[in-house]
Amino acid sequence: MMARGCSLGVLAGLLVVAFESSDFQGEICEYNQATKHEDCTTYSLFPFLLIKVFDTLNYYGVAITALATVFIGVFTLTLKLSTDNLWTAAKDQIAAAENAAKMQSRDMQASIAVAQSAANAANKSAKVAEDALTVLEKPYVFIDRRIALSKSIMEIKDFKALNADSLCHIGVEYFIINHGRTPAIIKNLTTTMLIVANIPEHRTITGTPEIPTAIGMAQGVPDGPLKCLSNEAATVVICDEILRGCKFLFFYGQISYRDVFSYEYLTGFGWRYFVNANIWNPAGGDEYNFHMNVSPEPMKKAPFRF
């Protein structure tokens, strides 16, 4: 690079020397206002050309400046238009990016919603399957229909007629049975037997537990006989009222138990004694006869149908 620059410098110098040494002579004349004549000066080629170029530039300086201004204006306008186009393109690109981001966000939200819906459906299906399994396999503990008096009302009346001072209660013997498919663990069994003219409208548990807690019951195996005594002592008058139908025995209570799935249940029961037929039939309606799930999700009481 340095050798090339030196060569160009030498060449330029030789050209200047050649112009200066040539025989060309040029005159440049200027009008003298004082003498009213032209004063001419003779120059060699190179100075002559240089002066002519400067004179031309000076003479057409305004036009050249105007042309340069126009050129600069056109260039500035072109630059502005290019900048505007670039800004428009950038704005369009930003808008397109924002629209793409919004569409992607909507698609993602839709995908999330679909995934959530699928997850909810899966959870619901699992819950339905679990509930179905629990309902099909859970234990159902009830009072067995084999309910009987320990002694008949007539026997008790005769006993009280001969032993007026002896304390005597009417007793009932009963069984509990598991009709479900899985074992039941009894938590509590409470029974009460009333001597009444009408069944109480509201159920009140006043008895005491009849069997120990945490006793297991297999499917279809009755547990008993268990006993429950009347809430008041028997007398000859009471026995006569029962025999005449003025009053009757009402045996009711509840059984609390759980299954192998850790669900807890409560079964209520109510039975009325018909002395003439010597039979016990369900009585008391839904207030006394029901089966319900008490944990982990309490349910409305379901009537128990015999």
Tell me what pLDDT residue 96 has.
Answer: 86
Per residue in 193-242, pLDDT (tens digit) is 999 999 999 888 766 555 555 566 666 667 778 888 888 899 999 999 99
Could you count the other beta carbons within 10 Å of the beta carbon of residue 146?
13
Tell me what pLDDT residue 297 has.
Answer: 56
Tell me what pLDDT residue 74 has.
Answer: 85
Asked if residues 139 and 199 have their Cβ atoms less than 8 Å apart, the reply is no
The ranges assigned to domains in the chain are 141-303
Q: What is the pTM of this model?
A: 0.56
Residue 40 exposure: Cα atoms within 13 Å on the Cβ side: 4
**Contacts with 181 (C-beta within 8 Å, 6 or more apart), sequence order:** 136, 137, 138, 139, 219
Which DSSP string do the residues of 194-244 spell out, in sequence order?
EEESS--SS----S-B-S-TTEEE-TT--EEEEEEEBSS---HHHHHHHHH
**For residues 258 and 280, what is the distance between their CA atoms, to the nearest angstrom?**
27
**For residues 58 and 67, what is the distance between their CA atoms, to the nearest angstrom?**
14
Tell me what pLDDT residue 305 has.
Answer: 47
Tell me what pLDDT residue 251 has.
Answer: 95
The residues of the chain scoring below 70 in pLDDT are 1-28, 30-39, 41, 43-49, 52-53, 57, 61, 130-131, 133-134, 206-221, 296-306
Tell me what pLDDT residue 224 has.
Answer: 72
Question: Phi and psi (nearest 5°) for 65?
Answer: -65, -40
Question: Phi and psi (nearest 5°) for 108?
Answer: -65, -45
C-alpha distance across the termini of the chain, in Å: 116
Which DSSP string do the residues of 151-207 spell out, in sequence order?
S-HHHHHHHHHH-TTS----EEEEEEEE-SSS-EEEEEEEEEEEEESS--SS----S
Residue 273, judged by CB atoms within 10 A of its CB (0-12, 13-18, 19+), counts as buried
